[in-house]
Structure 1
Amino acid sequence: MAIATLLDADETRFFKACFSYNAECNSVDNNLAEAFNASIIRARSTPIISMLNDTRARLDKSIKESTKWNVHINGDYGYKIMCGRITNIVDLERMTCSYRLWDLSVILCAHVVCAIYNKEEDPEKYLAICYTKEMYMRTYEYALQPINGLDL
């Protein structure tokens, strides 16, 4: 019954709250996530430098938007981030935000940036290691050599 309901459902009705946040990547690879994945796939289909630049642009956007939010501290790592009647809960120790962007893609949302700045820390410290210059350099440390063979 439940599977039939899901198969008949409009895929645009699925939203980020339905997905696991353990993936730590900007893509979700299962059939239910195709609609969501289509909205974030642009950066994935570009060369690595373009993808990293897109990630930098997203971080810069979150930094700019973070100025609109007010911070209310809730313990050492917990924050209630508010703008008007909208509230999001950020836990820097667990690396979670109720908005779920950080949980799903490990890209910092404005709420997380707001909490990080309140701790007087650098947002880049909270990016996933896959987005760091060090990891980029390690990934491309070895060159693949061409081989003779058939035209593919």
Structure 2
Amino acid sequence: MSLEEKMTVAALLDANETRFCKAYFSYNAKCDSTNNSLPEAFNASIVQARSNSIISMLNDIRITYIVDLEKMTCSCRLWDLSGIPCVHTVCAIYNKEEDPEKYLAKCYRKEMYMRKYKYALQPINGLDLW
């Protein structure tokens, strides 16, 4: 390993995991741009189930999520972290025959967008004023 790689590894080992591990993210953060090794984690979790037939394997790896529409939470935490309803939440919302947009975080709604950019871009009257 090069010196630069060793320094990078040392820096990551010394770093506070709450800054880069999604499990520690605040529910107030509305950005879902953290990359992780999800496929590797998934494959590691189904090693034993892979030896079964397809139906048995799917039954072994089935996961149940708990959605609370009143508190706007899901046990997968995607909705909590991003403010955008996850697929589990949307299924629960459709089951109640409601509109999923009603459950978006306020920062994603049209009213907030219009308020945010109300003064940001003023139109210019023609090319001669550019």
The TM-score bracket by the shorter chain reads: 0.5 to 0.7
Q: How does 1:25-40 map to 2 (within 5 A)?
A: 25-26=30-31, 37-39=33-35
Which of 1 and 2 has higher RCO (CA within 8 Å, sep 6+)? Answer: 1
Structure richer in strand, relative to its length: 1
- Which one of 108, 112, 118 corresponds to residue 85 of structure 2? 108
Structure with greater Cα Rg: 2
After TM superposition, give the deviation of residue 15 of structure 1 in Å. Answer: 4.3
1:139 equivalent in structure 2: 116
Tell me the alpha carbon deviations over residues 48-91 of structure 1, each in whole angstroms, 9 at most, x when there is no partner: xxxxxxxxxxxxxxxxxxxxxxxxxxxxxxxxxxx852111111
- What TM-score do the two structures reach when normalised by structure 2? 0.54
- Which one of 60, 81, 98 corresponds to residue 121 of structure 1? 98
* Poorly superposed stretches of 4+, deviation over 3 Å: none
Q: How does 1:3-152 map to 2 (within 5 A)?
A: 8=13, 15-23=21-29, 25-26=30-31, 37-39=33-35, 84=59, 85-143=62-120
Instruction: Tell me, yes or no, if the aligned pair for 1:16 and 1:100 is still in contact at 8 Å.
Output: no
Any gaps of 5 or more consecutive residues in structure 2? 1-10, 36-57, 123-130
What is the RMSD computed on CA atoms of the aligned residues?
3.0
Distance 2:23 2:87 in 1: 18
**Sequence identity, in percent?**
71
